Chains A and B, each alone.
Chain A
Amino acid sequence: MSAKSPASLSGRVALVTGGVGGIGTAICERLSAEGATVYAADISGDPGSVPAQVLHAECDVSSEASVTNVMQRINTEQSRLDILVNAAGIEIEKTVEETSLEEWNRIFAINVTGTFLTCKHGLALMRQVGGGSIINFGSYDGFIADPGLAAYCATKGAVHALTRALACDHGPDNIRVNAICPGYIDTPMLQSFFGSSGDIDSLKNEVRRVHPIGRYGTPEDVANLVNWLAGDEARYASGQLWVLDGGLTAQAQQMRL
């Protein structure tokens, strides 16, 4: 029983999709700080604020050719893949009636097909080094609904089911597959949501108040869990949906009594 130090991912190679986004950047920073060689794949050609040692790869996860290009590059440069983090995702703030078929197909292409494609083409790279850890992004919205987010909720439910299926099929190859299901995380997306309302400070306070932990999450909170799931300390954890929400969904709706 020789688990590596929990703080060590040295020698490991990680691919993080959505790698220059709010949560993706924090994940890349953390995995890199733990010693992994990290590729930040993103639709954006601008590496944003990811650290210089993180390798940037322009990638549209909804395109099979784009995904296989990234995998071929990693295979050529590293000959291995140990950690795959599927953090790329979009959100459409509409009900089913308001959502066009084009929008529906677009969000599924990125949130679900994107996860399918990186797994499909990353598994072989993991298998050739004796295993690996895949970390998908579900959401607490895969369990319960936020109003006006119908297609988003549906994509996250699909990721949850895909996570279990992958874990069952590829566990024998020592490939663990888990999903993180965040609640409210302080990202540019959340800030823009706050910015669109009138009294930002009182809204933020209300949001904090509803959380048992008294605040909303940070990208670093998510990166902490990614780091644990990626490493050997989590070697028996697979097929699970890890809700990370400060206790939000442990409660029933918090009525203003």
Chain B
Amino acid sequence: MGGQLKNKTAVITGGSRGIGRSMVELFAREGAQVLTCSRSERKDPLPQGISSLTADVSRSDDVKKLASEAVSRLGKIDILVNNAGVQVEKTVVDSTDEDFEALMSVNTWGVFALCREFIPLMAGNGGGTIINIGSISADHADPSMALYNASKAFVHSLTRSIAVDHGHQGIRCNAICPGWIMTEMADAAFDLADDPDAARADALARHAAGRFGQPKDIAQAALWLASDGASFITGQTLTIDGGLIAASPLRPGFF
């Protein structure tokens, strides 16, 4: 039990599972008062003391509700983590208008709308810090993830704009770019392989760190970015991928 976020408040979107849930739990352990949201109720309840509500960040009413609930439950807002995100596993040609709307409304509009609501709230209390979840896929394309990859590039760029435009109001804004983090989603991807064991072994060999990422790897980076120790860091994208993109995509040694 640390106290790195003692007396701080945090709003973390998409906190019911995976990376979001890990952040919710870590931030609470470090002393923050946390409000999280997810689109639907999950069967596994959050630890006691964590405030949550049902909200879809792609809906204007829900974004406004989240901001007003944050003010009434937490008072001042110190930390906003835009973690909620969705993916569509298609190429450009295969993606429909509905796919575009479903993905962009969460991954791009949702991040924009939440920042627009929370920046004035933070600025009115002397400042705050925003952490967006980008992706290594913003700079290096994952195949058949065209809209997702593009949406994360939006997040990186918006992160820089917020840092530049609102720094003078005491707002810091950074993005974390996770690589392969072992969530239920990643496990499902391996299970689709012809030889899931071989696929896992190959993917593992491509990580200089010698292991896959865990949700807590991202949560710990977010904790640090949210802490006062990172008070001079803003407008940056921090890659947490175990060395994956430091290496060439082509590794003949693995053939």
A and B are partners in one complex rather than unrelated chains: yes
Q: Enumerate chain A interface residues (CB-CB to B < 8 A).
A: 140-141, 144-147, 183-184, 193, 197, 202-203, 206-207, 210-211, 248-257
Interchain CB contact under 8 A, A252 and B252:
no
Inter-chain contacts of A202 with B (CB < 8 A): 255
Task: From the candidates B179, B189, B192, B255, name the one contacting A203 in the complex (CB within 8 A).
Answer: B255
Task: From the candidates B136, B192, B203, name the one contacting A255 in the complex (CB within 8 A).
Answer: B203
Closest A-chain residue to B201, C-beta based? Answer: A256
Inter-chain contacts of B246 with A (CB < 8 A): 144-145
Interchain CB contact under 8 A, A140 and B206:
no
Interchain CB contact under 8 A, B249 and A251:
yes
Closest A-chain residue to B244, C-beta based? Answer: A253
Interchain CB contact under 8 A, A249 and B140:
yes
- Interface pairs (10), CB distance under 8 Å: A144-B247, A146-B251, A249-B140, A252-B137, A252-B140, A252-B142, A252-B244, A252-B249, A254-B249, A257-B190
Inter-chain contacts of A140 with B (CB < 8 A): 248
A200 CB → nearest B CB, Å:
11
Inter-chain contacts of B192 with A (CB < 8 A): 257
A184-B250, A207-B252, A210-B250 given; A255·B140 CB < 8 A: no
Per-residue A-contact encoding for B137-159, CB less than 8 Å = 1, 0 else: 10011110000000000000000
Inter-chain contacts of A256 with B (CB < 8 A): 198-199, 202, 254
Give the interface centre of A183, A202, A255 by most chain B CB atoms within 10 Å. A255
Per-residue A-contact encoding for B220-255, CB less than 8 Å = 1, 0 else: 000000000000000000000000111111111111
**At the interface, yes or no: B86 with Cβ under 8 Å from chain A?**
no
A197 to B252, CA, bound (A): 10
Closest B-chain residue to A211, C-beta based? Answer: B250
A192 to B198, CA, bound (A): 29
Interchain CB contact under 8 A, A210 and B249:
yes
**At the interface, yes or no: B209 with Cβ under 8 Å from chain A?**
no
A248 to B246, CA, bound (A): 14
Inter-chain contacts of B71 with A (CB < 8 A): none
Interchain CB contact under 8 A, A248 and B202:
no
A147-B251, A248-B249 given; A253·B206 CB < 8 A: yes
Interchain CB contact under 8 A, A147 and B247:
yes
Interchain CB contact under 8 A, B245 and A252:
yes
A159 CB → nearest B CB, Å:
18
Interchain CB contact under 8 A, A257 and B199:
yes
A202-B255, A252-B137, A252-B245 given; A257·B250 CB < 8 A: no
Give the interface centre of A141, A146, A203, A248 by most chain B CB atoms within 10 Å. A146
**At the interface, yes or no: B50 with Cβ under 8 Å from chain A?**
no
Inter-chain contacts of B202 with A (CB < 8 A): 255-256
Inter-chain contacts of A254 with B (CB < 8 A): 143, 249-250
Inter-chain contacts of A248 with B (CB < 8 A): 248-250
A252 to B141, CA, bound (A): 6
Inter-chain contacts of A250 with B (CB < 8 A): 140-141
Inter-chain contacts of A211 with B (CB < 8 A): 250
Closest B-chain residue to A197, C-beta based? Answer: B252
**At the interface, yes or no: B193 with Cβ under 8 Å from chain A?**
yes
B146 CB → nearest A CB, Å:
12
Closest B-chain residue to A194, C-beta based? Answer: B252
A160 CB → nearest B CB, Å:
16
A244 to B227, CA, bound (A): 41
Interchain CB contact under 8 A, A251 and B141:
yes
A249-B140, A255-B206, A256-B202 given; A145·B255 CB < 8 A: no
Inter-chain contacts of B190 with A (CB < 8 A): 257
Inter-chain contacts of A193 with B (CB < 8 A): 252
A2 to B173, CA, bound (A): 47
Closest B-chain residue to A256, C-beta based? Answer: B202
Inter-chain contacts of A255 with B (CB < 8 A): 199, 202-203, 206
Additional pairs, 14, CB under 8 Å, beyond known A211-B250, A252-B245, A252-B249: A147-B251, A248-B249, A249-B140, A251-B140, A251-B143, A251-B249, A252-B136, A252-B141, A253-B244, A253-B247, A253-B249, A256-B254, A257-B189, A257-B192
Give the interface centre of B143, B244, B255 by most chain A CB atoms within 10 Å. B255
A144 to B190, CA, bound (A): 26
Per-residue A-contact encoding for B162-194, CB less than 8 Å = 1, 0 else: 000000000000000001000000000110110
Interchain CB contact under 8 A, A249 and B248:
yes
Interchain CB contact under 8 A, A206 and B136:
no
Closest B-chain residue to A203, C-beta based? Answer: B255
